[in-house]
């Protein structure tokens, strides 16, 4: 009974935020996929070929794969906007569990009820994770809707056949064909990337809740979490940009967030989605989708567990 009451409390506190983020996420994913369909991949490839070679190192996946419809659609999961929308939920909710309630003064009456702090903590964590699952599911659903409702134009050239070999006649008049995007992109392939987004969210949720467990001011908790987020993001950029500092990727949680590479691995082989290691376009051996998800999940759950221990043992200060 008390569990239901707690769930009701957390729902009433957070449904508006969740609904706003869900609307933002759905619009973004649908529009992002639709925009992919607006550009003819073959023309896009020509543009990409003109880019300096150094730029390729910023991509976590093979550049040739990246210019395909599948690759460009998969990059939706790497978009900072989508990450911000999804992680906003876990950061805002995670930071609220202890320091939010303490700083608002609402922890007093809640903790005076015959409900253990453990139950308060894990109910909150479960609710946050459920909301996260909903948001990543919406991300996938609206990417899929975008794929199902978008048509793409492809420029093709007549081919000349020499026995078993065919050559495009690029000197001839090109033929523009309009086809359904779903013929080129299978939405199911994005599921491993979505799982990576989910585990990344669990990690950030765990970190936010852990910070909240020992803090008493929510503004400070949010500041620490936001600082951590941008610092870790910056570290990933450094790791990608410089071979000398490529080791930095193992010091940032973003190093384990690579949804496009999960999609790429799955598109090449079904079992690629559970591969332990993968080879990058630069020939480096990097953690595979399974290791990425496992590391993020273990860190996230570990931080939730640690935060729970802190919350159970700490003094609850009077509201200021």
Partner 1 sequence: MSDFDNTSKHSLEAPLVAARGLSKSFGDFRALDGVELTIPKGVVFGLLGPNGAGKSTFIRCLLGFLQPSAGQATIAGLDCWRQRVDVHNEVSYLPGDARLPRTMRAKGLMRLFADLRPNGSYRRSLDVARRLELEAKRWVGLMSTGMKQKLALSIALSVDAPLLILDEPTANLDPTVRGEVLNLIREAKSNGQTVIFSSHVLSEIEDVCDSVAILKQGKLAFQQSLENMKWQHRIRAVTDEDVAARAVADGLAEQLSIVQDDRRVQIETEGDLSPVLKWLAEMSLRNVSVEPVGLRSIYDRIHLTKEVQV
The rounded Cα 9 to chain-centroid distance in angstroms is 27
Distance CA 8, CA 223 (A): 28
By CB under 8 A, the residues from 92 to 111 that bind partner 1 are 104-106, 108-111
- Contact status: 31 vs partner 1 (CB under 8 A): no
Report the residue number, 166 or 315, with the smaller CB distance to partner 1. Answer: 315
User: 152 has which bridge partners?
Assistant: 179
Query: Which residue in 5, 169, 172, 277 binds partner 1 (CB under 8 A)?
Result: 5
> Least distance in Å: CB of 208 to partner 1?
20
Query: Which residue in 46, 113, 159, 242 binds partner 1 (CB under 8 A)?
Result: 113
Query: Which residue in 52, 114, 163, 283 binds partner 1 (CB under 8 A)?
Result: 114
What residues have CB less than 8 Å from 164, skipping those under 6 apart? none
- Contact status: 43 vs partner 1 (CB under 8 A): no
- Contact status: 19 vs partner 1 (CB under 8 A): no
Report the residue number, 13 or 40, with the smaller CB distance to partner 1. Answer: 13
Tell me, by CB under 8 A, how many residues bind partner 1: 26
> Least distance in Å: CB of 131 to partner 1?
15
> Least distance in Å: CB of 313 to partner 1?
8
Backbone angles phi, psi at 287, to 5 degrees: -60, 140
Report the residue number, 10 or 30, with the smaller CB distance to partner 1. Answer: 10
| CA–CA–CA angle 83, 18, 222 (5° rounding) | 60
Q: Which stretch binds partner 1 (CB under 8 A): 40-48, 50-58, 112-120, 127-135?
A: 112-120
Query: Which residue in 12, 173, 244, 269 binds partner 1 (CB under 8 A)?
Result: 12
> Least distance in Å: CB of 106 to partner 1?
5
- Contact status: 227 vs partner 1 (CB under 8 A): no
Report the residue number, 37 or 94, with the smaller CB distance to partner 1. Answer: 94
The pair of three-digit structure tokens given for residue 138, joined into one six-digit string? 């919406």
Report the residue number, 4 or 178, with the smaller CB distance to partner 1. Answer: 4
- Contact status: 219 vs partner 1 (CB under 8 A): no
By CB under 8 A, the residues from 255 to 314 that bind partner 1 are 313
Q: What is the x/- site pattern for partner 1, positions 181-210, by CB under 8 A?
A: ------------------------------
- Contact status: 174 vs partner 1 (CB under 8 A): no
The pair of three-digit structure tokens given for residue 214, joined into one six-digit string? 């020992």
Under the rule (CB under 8 A), what is the footprint of partner 1?
1-2, 4-6, 8-9, 12-13, 104-106, 108-116, 313, 315-316, 318-319
């Amino acid at each position: 009974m008390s569990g239901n009451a707690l769930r009701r409390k957390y729902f009433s506190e957070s449904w508006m935020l969740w609904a706003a983020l869900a609307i933002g996420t759905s619009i973004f994913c649908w529009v992002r996929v639709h925009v992919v369909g607006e550009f003819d991949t073959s023309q896009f490839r020509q543009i990409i070929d003109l880019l300096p070679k150094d730029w390729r190192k910023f991509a976590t996946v093979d550049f040739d794969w990246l210019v395909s419809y599948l690759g460009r659609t998969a990059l939706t999961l790497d978009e900072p906007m989508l990450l911000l929308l999804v992680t906003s939920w876990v950061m805002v909710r995670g930071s609220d569990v202890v320091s939010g309630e303490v700083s608002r003064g609402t922890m007093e009456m809640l903790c005076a009820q015959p409900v253990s702090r453990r139950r308060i903590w894990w109910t909150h964590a479960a609710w946050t994770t459920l909301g996260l699952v909903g948001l990543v599911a919406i991300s996938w659903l609206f990417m899929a809707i975008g794929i199902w409702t978008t048509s793409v134009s492809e420029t093709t050239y007549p081919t000349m056949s020499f026995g078993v070999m065919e050559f495009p006649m690029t000197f001839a008049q090109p033929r523009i064909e309009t086809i359904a995007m779903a013929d080129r992109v299978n939405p199911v392939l994005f599921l491993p990337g979505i799982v990576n987004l989910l585990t990344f969210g669990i990690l950030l949720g765990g970190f936010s809740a852990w910070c909240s467990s020992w803090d008493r001011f929510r503004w400070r908790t949010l500041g620490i979490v936001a600082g951590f987020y941008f610092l870790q993001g910056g570290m990933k950029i450094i790791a990608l940009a410089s071979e000398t500092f490529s080791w930095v990727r193992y010091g940032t949680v973003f190093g384990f967030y690579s949804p496009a590479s999960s999609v790429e691995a799955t598109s090449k082989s079904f079992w690629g989605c559970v591969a332990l290691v993968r080879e990058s376009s630069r020939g480096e051996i990097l953690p595979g989708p399974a290791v990425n998800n496992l590391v993020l999940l273990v860190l996230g759950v570990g931080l939730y567990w640690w935060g729970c221990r802190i919350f159970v043992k700490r003094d609850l200060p009077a509201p200021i």
